[in-house]
Amino acid sequence: MTRNTDILSHENTLWTQGISAIMVMLMHFIMQIEGYPRIVNILGSIGVAAFLFISGFGLNESYKKSGLAGYWHKRIVRVIIPCWLVFLFKLPFEEQFSLSRLVHNLLFTDSELWFVDYIVRWYIIYWLARRLSPRHTTKILAGFSVAFIFAQQLMCEQAFSFFCGYIVSQHYDKVRQTSRGRIIKFTAAAFAYGTETVPQVNKITGPGNSYVAMAKKAVVGTVGIDSIAGPSEVLVIADESANPVFVAADMLAQAEHDERAAALCVTDSLSLAQRVQDEVERQCAALKRNQTARASIDRYGAIVVLEDLSSCVQFANDVAPEHLEILTADPRALLPGVRHAGGVFLGAYAPEALGDYLAGTNHVLPTGGTAKYASPLGVYDFCRRMSVLEYDAPRLQAVVEDIVQLADTEGLQAHAQSALARF
């Protein structure tokens, strides 16, 4: 079993919620004992605060993955309906039935479970904030956190726990990336300089995110590297025969990598360009990483219409893309004109993802126009050449005056003398 090192992974947060619930239950059980130690109250407060923190974190993580789609369905099925069933189950055991009390319970306005009331209020506030003013969600949640202290007389750690969980979620991706970046830098340093347990290497190669690129840049010179690659990019040459669904899908496959990834389509068909644009919009909206893909398309995406396919090939050569896809009626006919590209994918059934995962060609490719002078990573990157010189006396004597003249021109007397000393 692989250990999950993400402290706030779904599995770990479920465990935290379970432990928090047990802590609260244990507190209430012990409080029934006469003369119970007051420190037990702290145990319950910690449990409540932890549960609220995870609730705020999980709610925002769910939003980042799927937005508000199915928002209330999940809450109604998992929280509201089970609580209603509990309230209704208790009715026969009530000494004095009160319709008003039942209504308060069902509406979570003043139920016997204050914690559930509190959570449901947060559900409503979060939904309204995201629905009506998504840019100001943080300010709205912060304001209600303060209001709850006075309105419900909550302790600060309880009133702000949900908000703190939300804040951590908002910045968690950056925190994780930063942590991974530090690990990557330490790893690169260990390979470059050696440790007691890691032998020093001569060359570091391979793909990675921006942290990998910067780590390789920091040690270049101490060790050799293949390249400082990224961000990722794709350029699709397509004609009227191309399927716009395929073109859009391949563009988005790169766009979801990184907000700085580039996804381009160049075509000789205005009709196809319009259909590709429509498909990009449709498919992007359905992606889990739609925010990343959308940012990439908006900033670095383009659909270019040129006069003919020859012009499209020239455009591709000028860009020198990492991935070049040719989705035309006869893709092989355009291949001889391609001079600058990291990897070329021919035809409708050679998507870039094929090269990523399965085809077998090396997928560490030159980016940022470096395909004009660089090649994909290969065995030759691990091969070195040495120059070997051997002259006998007559052959050296025949050229010694030339050596002396060149050395004197540079003002390097010892160079000249090293040749003359032999005669």
Q: Just list the catalytic residues.
A: 322-323
Contact 408, 416 (CB under 8 A): yes
Q: Using CA atoms, how far apart are residues 348 and 341, in angstroms rounded to an integer?
A: 18
Rounded Cα gap, residues 6 and 292, in angstroms:
21
State which H helix or E strand residue 204 sits in.
Answer: strand 203-204
Helix (H) or strand (E) holding 236: strand 233-238
Three-state SS for 237-300 is EECCCCCHHHHHHHHHHHHCCCCCCEEEEEECCHHHHHHHHHHHHHHHHCCCCHHHHHHHHHHH
* Token pair of 235 as six digits: 């350029």
What 3-state class would DSSP assign to 338? Answer: coil
The amino acid occupying position 77 is V
**CA of 242: how far to CAs of 216, 248, 266, 304, 333, in Å?**
39, 11, 12, 15, 15
Contact criterion met (CB below 8 Å) for 127 and 137: no
Q: Which helix (DSSP H) or strand (DSSP E) does residue 404 occupy?
A: helix 393-410
Distance CA(418)–CA(396), nearest Å, equals: 12
Q: What are phi and psi of 180, to 5 degrees?
A: -65, -40
